[in-house]
Chain A
Amino acid sequence: MERLHNSVKSKSKSYRMSHRSSFGAAASRLGLTPALAGRRLNTSRRAPKSHNITEKVSPEQLALLTKTEWQLSYVTPLYRFGHTQLKSYAGQLSAFIAAGKQHGLAVEVFDPQTAFRVSFSLVQGMTESDDDAETVLIQIHSKPLFAGQDEPQRTVWSGLLTCVNGNPEYLRSLPEYFICLPLFGSSGAEGLTTLVKSWFQQSFDCCFGPLEISHTSLQWLMALWTDCHTESSIQCLKMIWTLPAVPPLKVTYTVNPEDAWELWSSVRKKRGGEEEDCIDIEEVTSFMRGLMSHFYRHFKLDLSAGSLNQVSTALGSAKSSGRIKISNRRYMVTTLALLTECALLKMPI
Chain B
Amino acid sequence: MAATLILSGPSDLDQSSQSDQSASSRSNNRSLRVAEKERKKNEAEDPFVLALKYFSDVEAGTPVHGNDDVERNLVLVEKVAYSKGLTPEAVSIMLEFAMSLRMGTTLCARVLKCLIPATVVPQEAVVRAVVWLGVGKIPVGTQILFIKWVLTVFDMIDAKDQLRAVYGFIFNFVTEENLCPYICHLLYLLTRKESVRVFRVRKLLELQSKLGRQPFLLSLLSLYKVFCPELVTLSIPSRVKSGFRNHNMPWKSALIAVQKRNGAQVASSISLASTMKTNPRKRKHCHLVLPVLSSVVSKRAQTEPSSSRKLVPLVQVHSFAQLLENMHRIELPAQMGSLLGSSLALQYLDCVQDESALLRFNFWLGYALHEEFLFRGDGGASQNSEEALQFLNTLLSTQHFLQEGFSCSEAFLFKFLNVWDGSLLRPQILGLLSSIPVVPSSQIGRLLFEPLMQLFFTSSLFFKCGLMDCLNNMLLKWLTWHSVYALEDDLDISLNSHTSINMTLSGFKDSVMELVDFVGRLASLGLRLEGCHSLLLSFILDFYETVCDTFLKYGLPLVVMPPPGVFYPALLATDPVSVDRLAYIMYRYKVNLTSAKSQERLTEQAFHISRQTFREFNHYTVVMVNCLWNSKMFQPDMGIQLGEELLLKSNVPQYGKSFDLIHHPAFMSYAVDFHQRCLPGRQDMDLNSLKHSKLWSWYQEYLFSQGYDGLKQFVQSNICRQLTASDSLPT
Q: Which residues of B contact A31 (CB under 8 A)?
A: 500
Chain B's closest residue to A89 (CB) is B299
Contact in complex: B485, A348 (CB < 8 Å): no
User: Which of A34, A35, A145, A209 is close to B287, meaning CB atoms less than 8 Å apart?
Assistant: A209
Contact of A83 with B by CB under 8 A: no
Chain B's closest residue to A100 (CB) is B277
Q: Which residues of A contact B495 (CB under 8 A)?
A: 12, 15-16, 19
Count of B interface residues, CB-CB < 8 Å: 83
**Please, how many angstroms separate the alpha-carbon atoms of A67 and B297 in the complex?**
35
Q: A35-B411, A85-B302, A349-B407 are in contact. Are A106 and B188 (CB under 8 A)?
A: yes
User: Which of A8, A22, A85, A105 is close to B437, meaning CB atoms less than 8 Å apart?
Assistant: A22
Taking the closest CB of chain B, its distance from the CB of A343, in whole angstroms, is 13
Q: Which residues of A contact B487 (CB under 8 A)?
A: 7-8, 11-12
Q: A16-B499, A24-B359, A33-B411 are in contact. Are A205 and B364 (CB under 8 A)?
A: yes
Contact of A23 with B by CB under 8 A: yes
**Please, how many angstroms separate the alpha-carbon atoms of A144 and B226 in the complex?**
12
Contact in complex: A106, B192 (CB < 8 Å): yes
Q: Which residues of A contact B497 (CB under 8 A)?
A: 13, 16, 20
Among A74-82, A221-229, A261-269, A330-338, which stretch is in contact with chain B?
Answer: A74-82
Q: Which residues of B contact A19 (CB under 8 A)?
A: 437, 485, 495, 499, 501, 503
Chain B's closest residue to A20 (CB) is B499
**Please, how many angstroms separate the alpha-carbon atoms of A194 and B276 in the complex?**
12
Contact in complex: B239, A92 (CB < 8 Å): no
Contact in complex: B375, A209 (CB < 8 Å): yes
Contact of A206 with B by CB under 8 A: yes
Contact of B143 with A by CB under 8 A: no
- Indicate with 1 or 0, residue by residue over A210-242, a CB within 8 angstroms of chain B CB atoms: 100000000000000000000000000000000
Among B14-22, B420-428, B439-447, B707-715, which stretch is in contact with chain A?
Answer: B439-447
**Please, how many angstroms separate the alpha-carbon atoms of A111 and B223 in the complex?**
13
Contact in complex: B287, A207 (CB < 8 Å): yes
Chain A's closest residue to B415 (CB) is A35
Q: A21-B353, A33-B411 are in contact. Are A202 and B335 (CB under 8 A)?
A: yes
Contact of B484 with A by CB under 8 A: yes
Count of A interface residues, CB-CB < 8 Å: 67
**Please, how many angstroms separate the alpha-carbon atoms of A66 and B451 in the complex?**
45
Contact of A123 with B by CB under 8 A: no
**Please, how many angstroms separate the alpha-carbon atoms of A107 and B225 in the complex?**
12
Contact of B141 with A by CB under 8 A: no
**Please, how many angstroms separate the alpha-carbon atoms of A108 and B291 in the complex?**
28
- Indicate with 1 or 0, residue by residue over B195-225, a CB within 8 angstroms of chain A CB atoms: 0000000000000000000000000001101
Find the residue from A18, A100, A108 having the highest chain B CB count within 10 A.
A18
Which A residues between 87 and 128 are near B, CB-CB below 8 angstroms?
A: 88, 92, 100, 103-109, 111
Taking the closest CB of chain B, its distance from the CB of A191, in whole angstroms, is 7
Contact of B486 with A by CB under 8 A: yes
Which B residues between 481 and 515 are near A, CB-CB below 8 angstroms?
A: 481, 484-487, 490, 493, 495, 497, 499-501, 503
Contact of B308 with A by CB under 8 A: no
Contact in complex: A106, B408 (CB < 8 Å): no
Which B residues between 320 and 363 are near A, CB-CB below 8 angstroms?
A: 334-337, 350, 353, 355-356, 358-360, 362-363
Contact in complex: B411, A146 (CB < 8 Å): no
**Please, how many angstroms separate the alpha-carbon atoms of A346 and B287 in the complex?**
15
Q: Which residues of A contact B191 (CB under 8 A)?
A: 106
Find the residue from B236, B287, B369, B497 having the highest chain A CB count within 10 A.
B497
Q: A35-B411, A209-B287, A209-B375 are in contact. Are A104 and B359 (CB under 8 A)?
A: no
Contact of B155 with A by CB under 8 A: yes
Contact in complex: A36, B447 (CB < 8 Å): yes
**In terms of DSSP, what is the predominant structure of the interface of chain B?**
helix
Contact of B414 with A by CB under 8 A: yes
**Please, how many angstroms separate the alpha-carbon atoms of A11 and B302 in the complex?**
40
Q: Which residues of B contact A92 (CB under 8 A)?
A: 297, 299
Taking the closest CB of chain B, its distance from the CB of A75, in whole angstroms, is 10
Contact in complex: B485, A34 (CB < 8 Å): no
Contact of B240 with A by CB under 8 A: yes
Contact in complex: B366, A349 (CB < 8 Å): yes
Which A residues between 37 and 81 are near B, CB-CB below 8 angstroms?
A: 76-77, 79-80
Contact of A203 with B by CB under 8 A: yes
**Please, how many angstroms separate the alpha-carbon atoms of A188 and B277 in the complex?**
17
Contact of B612 with A by CB under 8 A: no
Contact in complex: B222, A146 (CB < 8 Å): yes
Contact in complex: B500, A29 (CB < 8 Å): yes
Chain B's closest residue to A151 (CB) is B238
Chain A's closest residue to B362 (CB) is A24
Contact in complex: B299, A85 (CB < 8 Å): yes
Taking the closest CB of chain A, its distance from the CB of B295, in whole angstroms, is 11
Contact of A177 with B by CB under 8 A: yes
Contact of B235 with A by CB under 8 A: yes
Q: Which residues of B contact A24 (CB under 8 A)?
A: 358-359, 362, 406-408
User: Which of B154, B280, B359 is close to A178, meaning CB atoms less than 8 Å apart?
Assistant: B359
Contact in complex: B375, A346 (CB < 8 Å): yes
Taking the closest CB of chain A, its distance from the CB of B516, in whole angstroms, is 20
Taking the closest CB of chain B, its distance from the CB of A104, in whole angstroms, is 4
User: Which of B190, B226, B367, B501 is close to A32, meaning CB atoms less than 8 Å apart?
Assistant: B501
User: Which of A13, A100, A146, A202 is close to B235, meaning CB atoms less than 8 Å apart?
Assistant: A146
Contact in complex: A15, B501 (CB < 8 Å): no
Contact of B412 with A by CB under 8 A: yes
Contact in complex: B407, A34 (CB < 8 Å): yes
**Please, how many angstroms separate the alpha-carbon atoms of A146 and B501 in the complex?**
62
Contact in complex: A79, B226 (CB < 8 Å): no
18 contacts between A and B (CB under 8 A): A7-B487, A18-B484, A19-B501, A20-B499, A21-B353, A25-B359, A28-B500, A76-B363, A88-B299, A105-B189, A109-B193, A202-B334, A203-B334, A207-B364, A348-B365, A348-B366, A348-B411, A349-B411
Besides the contacts A103-B277, A145-B240, A210-B375, what 18 more A-B pairs have beta carbons closer than 8 Å?
Answer: A8-B487, A12-B493, A14-B485, A21-B353, A32-B500, A35-B411, A36-B414, A36-B447, A82-B303, A85-B303, A105-B189, A106-B192, A175-B359, A203-B297, A205-B335, A346-B370, A348-B412, A349-B362
Q: Which residues of B pack against A, CB within 8 Å?
A: 154-155, 188-193, 222-223, 225-227, 235-240, 242, 274, 277-278, 280-281, 287, 291, 294, 297, 299-300, 302-303, 334-337, 350, 353, 355-356, 358-360, 362-371, 375, 404-408, 410-412, 414-415, 437, 439-440, 443, 447, 481, 484-487, 490, 493, 495, 497, 499-501, 503
Q: Which residues of A pack against B, CB within 8 Å?
A: 7-8, 11-29, 31-36, 76-77, 79-80, 82, 85, 88, 92, 100, 103-109, 111, 144-147, 175-178, 190-191, 194, 201-203, 205-207, 209-210, 346-349
Which 4 residue pairs spanning A and B have beta carbons closest together? A24-B407, A348-B366, A144-B238, A28-B499
